[in-house]
Amino acid sequence: MSDTTQVNGSSNIPLHVGIIMDGNGRWAQKRGLVRTAGHKEGLESAKRIVKACADLGIKYVTLYTFSTENWKRAQEEVGYLMGLIRGHLRAEFDFYKANGIRIEHIGDLAGLPKDVQDEIVKAKEETSHFTGLTCVLAINYGGRDEIVRSVKKLLKNSTSEITEKSISDNFDVPELPDVDFLIRTGGEKRLSNFLLWHSAYAELCFTDTLWPDYSVEEFKNNIEDFSRRTRRFGDVLNK
């Protein structure tokens, strides 16, 4: 891509990076802290990586912020996470503006507390004119849930044929491109219901680093590794 910043001489930068930010709770427990301390530190890591994406010329980054399954966690932790999301969206406008970052949301918005819904809508509106990186926050998100909600929209419109395009056209952010590179921190090696449709041909990266310790340097090394990979999308080389 000619409009991207090079990493160690390579211009093969992913258009869309998806990140499963795993390991906040374990990071805190290793230090004898409550789990919520890990989430607070994880927010700082997210800001560093989002800034790095903007600097590298990556156009889309999707952060797995709160899944449809995360409601199963302790009420105290869920409440803290909702407050962290709400407060972050309210407080970080200057950060978005300075870096030209547009905020988008994927997930079941109606299933979130009203005050969180309002902050998400406000953040989207206030950053809609920014033309740099699009930071997509997956909040109350599940890959299966997004597909189901899309099909339900189609079924309400009896004139719409069910095709891959019509399903993706009814996703939360229809213009969101497929994931090129999916990174998961924290040592686990699974997708956990994250961007299942969009990640059909994503290159995968799993690191043992807990999310609060995930540095810009490691992120750039991971991007450099991506740039060396050959993507075939089901085709063969040297036909």
* Catalytic residue numbers, as ranges: 22, 70
| Residue the block writes with tokens 């000619």 | 2
Residues 6+ away with beta carbon under 8 Å from 111 = 68, 140
Q: How far is 118 from 195, CA to CA, in rounded Å?
A: 24
Retrieve residue 92's tokens: 């970080």
Closest listed residue to residue 233, CA positions, set 184, 156, 179, 190: 179
Structure token digits, residue 85: 């999301």
Instruction: Give whole-number Cα distances, 127 to 98, 100, 103, 124, in Å.
Output: 11, 8, 6, 5
Nearest of 231, 131, 114, 112 to residue 172 by alpha carbon = 112
Does residue 132 contact residue 100 with C-beta atoms inside 8 Å?
Answer: yes
Amino acid sitting at position 233:
F
